[in-house]
Amino acid sequence: MNYPGESAKHEQKRMETTKQKTISLGFLTVRKHPSRGYFGGFLVLNLLARPLEFHCTLPVQPTRAQQILYGATLDEFISGEQIARALILKAKSSLEVVFTDTLAALSGRHVQETPLIAIDGSWERSENTIGHPVSQGHELKSISALDYRFSVLSQYESDLQRIHALFHKNDSSIDLIEPFGRIEEALLEAHPAAKAA
Amino acid sequence: MMQSMGSEFIQFATDAPLPELAWQFDSNRIEIQSFDSEPIEAPEICSEVDEHLGDWILNTLPSVLPIQLGQALPKTIGFAFPEMPNWGIKSESEKQASDKQPDKSLPALFDPKEPKELAGSPKSGFPKITRMRPPGDLVRLEDRLYYVLQPPLETIVQSAKLTFPFQPFPYQMEGIAFLFPRAAAILADEMGLGKTMQAITTIRMLLLSNELSSVLLVCPKPLVTNWVREFRQWAPEIPLAVIEGDLHKRQWIWNNPQAPVKIANYELLMRDRDLIDSGELQFDLVVLDEAQRIKNRNSTTSEIVRSIPRSRSWALTGTPIENSTEDLVSIFEFLSPGYLRDDMHLKSMGQATRDYVLRRTKDKVLTDMPPKLFRPADLELTGEQRASYKAAEEEGVVQLSEMGESVTIQHVFELVLRLKQICNFDPATGASAKLERLEADMDEIAASGQKAIIFSQWVESLDMIGSKLERFNPLYYHGRIPSNKRDGVIDQFKNDPSRKVILMSYGAGAVGLNLQFCHYVFLFDRWWNPAVEDQAINRAHRLGVKQAVTVTRMMSVDTIEQRIHDVLEEKRELFNSLFAETGTPKNLGLSQKEIFGLFGLNIPRQAKAA
């Protein structure tokens, strides 16, 4: 039996051959609405913070079987292996790194090759913001840099080096938190039903 | 084995509410009949439920119906966007030259002592993030997302290295974010809040992002030089062309592609109508300054501006409604023909225009701006003035009454004007209660090193005032001053300390001038419409003003001036209540009925029919 990530790796390799060669950063968020399910949004920016691509999922409702069989790990399965994987694979740009404000989505790193890094920070959320899925608290490796705290799953610690290489080499001053506000606005445009109750 | 290990499984299966699943437990066999229409593979179930149980199922049970969880990924929708040009970003060679070499010892990025400045963060100097919002009439999701997903304006400004003479106020950034995505918009901020700067900065950003390449700005003739000056201040890199000169020169300028921004005046459009109608001109954006100039939609000016081929249309005005909602309908005929109708209910009109009109008032956005202090100067006429006034009024009213049905509004106006002029100066002796008061006030103002603006509706009155205020070295700014000399007058008033007073007519001095260094305004007589008076006052009370502006409204009590004042004040109160509720004001000027009513006359039938 193939591990789900295997087919993803093949698919990703195929897609990478067609991806553009400009430096771009991914910003991924997953939100969980109490009744409408999970919403994933993925924004690809260049180093000047200009949008290159935006992808979002249709609302994802886990099946009853998934609810039972994944149990407490359901949020991570849906956020990482399903939504993060689906969205990152859709990117046509060559992604240096994907930042996420959703810890539960870090499991998406198991099923695709692009470094997936959680980032802490605060931004002015609207009253319509819905909550994040829950992470089960895997062992993380973290560093603090700039005004942020970056975290990865411990087995992907080397991904953290990519941040240094990226920003040092390109002298980018992009705000890494602000794009999540844009994703939220875009999700509300695409799915007005995603507003908080 | 079944008893020890399988009991967990049986317990799990029994407790779990699985109506769609049929389990059967025999001594050594489990049958799973169906599962939510998707088969589940046994090892996956077991790895999640119980590792030991999985082994047990695989090793012990010989017959298991495999059920697989679907591997399909969630469905997605996505859009790719054109990458905006890098605007003012350094060229590649410059960038290489300044490229930092990686510091192998301690990466600067990770050095907490050297925090990097982030675009859009509070550290970058902008206290807040200003996002563009897609206009309501943009329907396609892809188009809406294009604007939603743009960086905050502060980020764009910083990454493009755009510089400003001073940091814009947050409400001005909101104004830019409002204009940027709109094909049709009215920026209706109260006078003095910086409509010019907001329009110029938005034009600048749209030009630099290649969303526009040709812009026509139309303004009243006296304001052309003001716009040129403001463009040089706020967008120094944008080439301008002022349309002026003889026909051949103007023709060349109209067609000159080198200047992406062209500035024309309303009066000139009349002369160049053939050029405009030739079909050879096309603008990405046409901006009308003081757009109340087209409030009469049947005027030639209005017809011409509506005929200019363009993709976007913006209107700038501090008074989108001077007299009635028809003014707003006329401006919308330029923005979006047919969108508004005269017969629309006030509330419907307010709702329909909400997404197109942005209006802020100083009291809402500039809470720390020095206030306007209104100082009514209610004055008794001098003896000479009272005698003249009484005689003129009695004679006038008698004449009007004798005219019967043939009386027109023009006849009433003539009487009003004659009486108002007497309120300024006695025609026989030149006596003036207002002037006596003004001279006393000016002595005090000049002694304290300050300057004053005096408004009147008559040039003759301004001349008489000027002759009595010679010791304050007055300057004149009115319709009889050639337009090419007016900038010099303003400069002199601003820079020459001996020039203590400037005498202005409402018509010439009410719009577009920045006189915020002057803290005293006198309204020697009153205009018909408070909106025009407000514009006049706001020449001084505008952005950059350092201290309170004192406005002295002169009025002769027990005269026609007081009667007009009372009617207008009543209407202003009505306007304020309506405007707060609906966002659209009502008629602020005097109606025909009110004008006749000033002398206790009824509107004749003939005038009603007209």
pLDDT at A8 over 60: no
> Chains A and B: how many Cβ contacts under 8 Å?
162
SS (H, E, C) B192-242: CCCHHHHHHHHHHHHHHCCCCCCEEEEECHHHHHHHHHHHHHHCCCCCEEE
Mean pLDDT of chain B: 79
pLDDT at B398 over 70: yes
Just give the CATH number of B372-597: 3.40.50.300
Chain B hits for A43, CB-CB cut-off 8 Å, are: 149
In Å, how far is B168's CA from the nearest CA of chain A?
21
Domain boundaries, chain B: 6-60, 128-365, 372-597
- The reported pLDDT for the residue numbered B419 is 94
pLDDT tens-digit map of B543-596: 677 778 888 999 999 999 998 888 877 766 655 544 454 444 445 566 667 777
Mean pLDDT within A135-161: 85
pLDDT at A162 over 80: yes
- Considering only CB atoms, A147 lies closest to which of B73, B86, B115, namely B115
pLDDT tens-digit map of B412-471: 889 999 999 999 999 999 999 999 989 988 988 888 888 999 999 999 999 999 999 999
Q: Are B328 and B359 in contact (CB under 8 A)?
A: no
Mutate to test the interface with B, among A22, A53, A178, A191 (most CBs of B within 10 A): A178
pLDDT at B336 over 50: yes
Domain that holds residue A107: 4-194
In Å, how far is B26's CA from the nearest CA of chain A?
23
Q: Closest Cα partner for B77 from A39, A130, A31?
A: A39
Q: How far is CA B350 from the centre of its chain?
A: 16
pLDDT at B61 over 60: no
- The reported pLDDT for the residue numbered B103 is 33
Mutate to test the interface with A, among B148, B159, B161, B205 (most CBs of A within 10 A): B148
- The reported pLDDT for the residue numbered B89 is 38
Bridge partners of residue A53, in order along the sequence:
A44, B80
In Å, how far is B535's CA from the nearest CA of chain A?
38
**Percent of chain B surpassing pLDDT 70:** 74
Q: Which of A72-81, B275-284, B585-594 has the lowest mean pLDDT?
A: B585-594
The reply to whether residue A57 touches residue B75, judged by beta carbons under 8 angstroms, is yes
- Output B166 or B41, whichever has higher pLDDT: B166
- The class that CATH gives domain B128-365 is alpha beta
**Percent of chain A surpassing pLDDT 70:** 78
- The reported pLDDT for the residue numbered B160 is 79
Mean pLDDT within A62-66: 86
Q: B115: pLDDT confidence band, cut at 50, 70 and 90?
A: very low
The reply to whether residue A168 touches residue B102, judged by beta carbons under 8 angstroms, is yes
Q: Domain count of chain A?
A: 1
Chain A hits for B95, CB-CB cut-off 8 Å, are: 171
Q: Which residues contact B457 (CB under 8 A, 6 or more apart)?
A: B505, B506, B507, B525, B527
DSSP B582-606: HS-----S--HHHHHHTTTPPPPHH
Mean pLDDT of chain A: 81
pLDDT at B186 over 70: yes
Rounded distance between C-alpha atoms, residue B271 and residue B22, angstroms: 88
- The reported pLDDT for the residue numbered B349 is 85
- The reported pLDDT for the residue numbered B3 is 39
Mutate to test the interface with B, among A58, A146, A172, A184 (most CBs of B within 10 A): A146
pLDDT at B39 over 90: no
- The reported pLDDT for the residue numbered A121 is 63
Mean pLDDT within A101-106: 92
Rounded distance between C-alpha atoms, residue A197 and residue B250, angstroms: 60
Q: B63: pLDDT confidence band, cut at 50, 70 and 90?
A: low
